Amino acid sequence: MVDAAQLTSGEVARQAGTRMGRDRAEPMIAPAPSDRLGRPLRDLRISVTDRCNFRCTYCMPREVFGRDYAFLARSELLSFEEIARLVRVFAQHGVTKVRLTGGEPLLRRGLERLVEMIANIDGIADVALTTNGSALAARAQALRSAGLSRVTVSLDALDDETFGAMNDVRFPVARVLAGIEAAAAAGLEPVKVNMVVKRGVNDQSVVPMAEYFRASGHILRFIEYMDVGTTNGWRLGEVVSAAEILAALQACWPLQRLPANYAGEVASRYRYCDGAGEVGVIASVSQPFCGNCTRSRVSAEGKLHTCLFANHGHDLRSMLRDGSSDTQISERIYRIWTARADRYSEARTAHTPPAAKIEMSYIGG
């Protein structure tokens, strides 16, 4: 395979079946890129804001993201039109699934309009949302009506004391649960519920969470505490491994492994043998899945990141605002993806030295 970095912009354009100077609204036939490890580009995660109303200790610790923290100005965020334009270009490269993240995406006013814009783009088959659930009860139906396919809700415990210690704003569990039920009632089923498990903080909540969501129709997924960003003080000893989580569940209810729903699915799936539904584990630390990663991420200020643990991004916002054509943006994305060789989780060890990484609040989970 020819390294895209060796191609001129004209050669990339000819491979894409395009020509420079073409009107940006005209459809393109772009190449389907694979990175240097043979991984295709299929999923796009877009952070619509770096702000959040929670201060979860594993994501936006209050000690860093305090009252005086300088969040991005509105003008620095991509507009809905700019986001939709990027999605159209990514779709030409094979992206079929888009997930809106944050920060907390429902803090972005009028998000339903963006959902509708993306849902109407040719090639996009699935539009999903990751949220802390704080505003979901009031907006689930409108999001579904706009074209949202699925929703994932973060919930780290069922008791207010533990959950409050995790979100650090004392937000009540009941309001998140109401959001989950509203999403299900709106047809955003199955709702996925993500629980980050941190040793000594909420690991005692693994079994109660599983018991609550068994037979609910929702899919609970346990996530190993990850070293995303550099502000959460991550230590390997605070990670509760997938093996430990599964052992705790198996002690209560026999489980059977299920096949992946699709290539690149990050959660290992299990069914309760008594027929009470499905549970999953995302084991990025103990069982890395870099080899199947098809995800790209665009941060709130329009930078393309090729890994959740990236230490830098590639500026696309300037191209959206300087008159660059869709063809030129397409070429840029093609070059970035075909040069990608990220495998941080596979390379991580207990002795991996700390390195500056992009915070989760900028690029989502």
CATH number at residue 245: 3.20.20.70
Angle 31-34-38 (CA atoms, 0-180°, nearest 5)?
150
Q: What is the mean pLDDT of residues 209-222?
A: 97
E strand intervals along 117-233: 126-131, 150-154, 192-197, 219-224
Q: What is the mean pLDDT of residues 153-169?
A: 96
The percent of residues in the chain predicted with pLDDT above 90, rounded, is 69
> What confidence score (pLDDT) does residue 99 get?
97
How far the first Cα of the chain sits from its last, in Å, is 31
- Model confidence at 288, pLDDT cuts 50, 70, 90, reads low
The answer to whether the beta carbons of residues 7 and 311 sit under 8 Å apart is: no
Distance separating alpha carbons of residues 272 and 214, to the nearest angstrom: 8
The answer to whether the beta carbons of residues 253 and 316 sit under 8 Å apart is: no
Higher model confidence: residue 29 or residue 77? 77
**Which residues span the domain enclosing 308?**
4-363
Q: What is the mean pLDDT of residues 44-48?
A: 97
- Taking each helix axis as running N to C, give the angle between helix 80-92 and helix 326-338, from 0 to 180 degrees, rounded to the nearest 10: 60
Q: How many domains does the chain have?
A: 1
The answer to whether the beta carbons of residues 249 and 207 sit under 8 Å apart is: yes
Distance separating alpha carbons of residues 179 and 128, to the nearest angstrom: 15
> Does 89 score more than 70 pLDDT?
yes
Q: What is the pTM of this model?
A: 0.86
Q: Copy the structure tokens of residue 319.
A: 């191209």
DSSP 110-131: THHHHHHHHHTSTT--EEEEEE
Count the neighbouring beta carbons within 10 Å of the beta carbon of residue 203. 19
Residue 351's Cβ-count burial label (10 Å; 0-12, 13-18, 19+) is exposed
Q: What is the mean pLDDT of the chain?
A: 86
Nearest-10 Cα torsion for 71, 365, 104, 67 = -40
Q: Copy the structure tokens of residue 235.
A: 């230590």
